[in-house]
Amino acid sequence: MKYNASIYNIVIKESGDSVYLYNSYSGAFAKLEKRVYDTITTQTIFDEQPCEYFEQLLAEGFIKPLELNEYNRIITQERVAVYERSDDSLSFVIAPTLVCNLNCSYCFESSSRCNKSLSEQSVNDIVAFISKRLRMQTRKLHITWFGGEPLMAYQTILDFNKKLKDEISSREIAYSASMITNGTLLDEYKTRTLAEHCALSNVQITIDGTQEIYCKQKGATPKQFEQVINNIVSALNYLKVSIRLNCAKDNFDDLKQVVATLVSRCGAHKNLHFYLAKLVDYSCSCSANFCSQVEFDRKNIEFEKYICKLMSMEYKLKLPKYRKSFCGLYKLKNYVIGPDGELYKCEHHVGREEQVIGNVRQGLYYSDAMLDFINLSFLEKCKTCKLFPLCLGGCPSQRQDIKNREACNISMVYIKDLLLDYIDANEEL
């Protein structure tokens, strides 16, 4: 059998007679003798050829069968992941209301926000819709509460959970929930109630900076900012709290200050997690305040080191991994449900009539909107990009909505800088 080098091999560093090589599909990272690297790069390899590294190189993806088209393999695996119907677990995103008590300047919902909220009839219909999709082999059911601001419909969430639990009480199904919230209304009473009675295990709260920047970006008051900070502190007693820090060009130092403030209040709490998120220009205004991917990636590496130092944790290499689909919502079996019971394929579509793909009462419409979304094509340059296994063309929603359709979510700088740091810290490699 014949073999050649993987197209996803990335040279991180050449040092004397050695080459540090990373494969973005397999995630393997190795130090090869330069003669071995030159051999697999320039020659067709036969399995009968004596090579002390052959089996390892093949197992770790640095070489592959000559006939294998690696790009087509990824595309095929993604198609299988999108359409497969594994019934052991189901997840839904539900927006109980499109009402919000803040007005974020960058919100992708700004043009579609309205006063819609779940009615009692819609609650019943959604519970029935979910129940019909549970199979004998279903063992896990997860609900993510979204909005608007979902806690503007707090009582509706309580009513929904009671009816859903009544529906699945006779089944051996592990039920869990999470919430994406701005945190202003997440007081200790609500947190405890949601954790104890609604299976809420974690929340994501977005913070854009210290008080001045936060209030400017979100149309919030100083009192609301303080409420969020206080609510985060109390919520840690009941569930995991992920702090999403929206990063632009000019607020990075401010975000670090927010983190320092929270750590000073909470300590290195096991339930407290931070992550940096790239602010996305959905308006395509090309504002100078939005980071390029390279700029963001460099900030992200610095941020990870900063967090570890602040929380007295060991900094460890964390490389992104290949995944068969970009996100769970890209899979056909998962849906976002709006306050009228309407169905969407992405939470970024909520409130947009042209992106409705069905309704919990009538089922799927098999509309052009649904098929256009789950069958998005890739840019031509994706076919030759060495980072394609990690990026998969980027967020499908961004690819569809952003005019140039370029939604790369990782740069070569990120991979190389991470691994060069690792090499420097482990000279014995």
Query: What is the pLDDT at residue 406?
Result: 67
Beta strands 363-364 and 358-359 are antiparallel
Query: What is the pLDDT at residue 170?
Result: 81
Q: Provide block-wise average pLDDT over 10 residues at a time, the chain (429 residues).
A: 95 95 97 92 79 85 96 95 82 94 75 78 96 85 95 97 90 93 97 97 94 92 96 97 94 95 92 92 66 94 95 90 90 92 94 94 93 88 95 90 76 96 78
Query: What is the pLDDT at residue 331?
Result: 87
Query: What is the pLDDT at residue 112?
Result: 56
Query: What is the pLDDT at residue 200?
Result: 97
416's tokens? 């190389």
Q: What is the C-alpha to C-alpha distance for residues 75 and 81, in angstroms, rounded to an integer?
A: 10
Q: In DSSP terms, which residues pair with 8 in a beta bridge?
A: none
Place of tokens 């900094």: 315
Contact 186, 200 (CB under 8 A): no
187's tokens? 């007081």
The DSSP H or E segment spanning 261 is: helix 252-266
Q: What is the C-alpha to C-alpha distance for residues 242 and 200, in angstroms, rounded to an integer?
A: 13
Strands (E), 154-291: 174-181, 200-207, 240-247, 272-278
Q: What is the C-alpha to C-alpha distance for residues 311 and 11, in angstroms, rounded to an integer?
A: 33
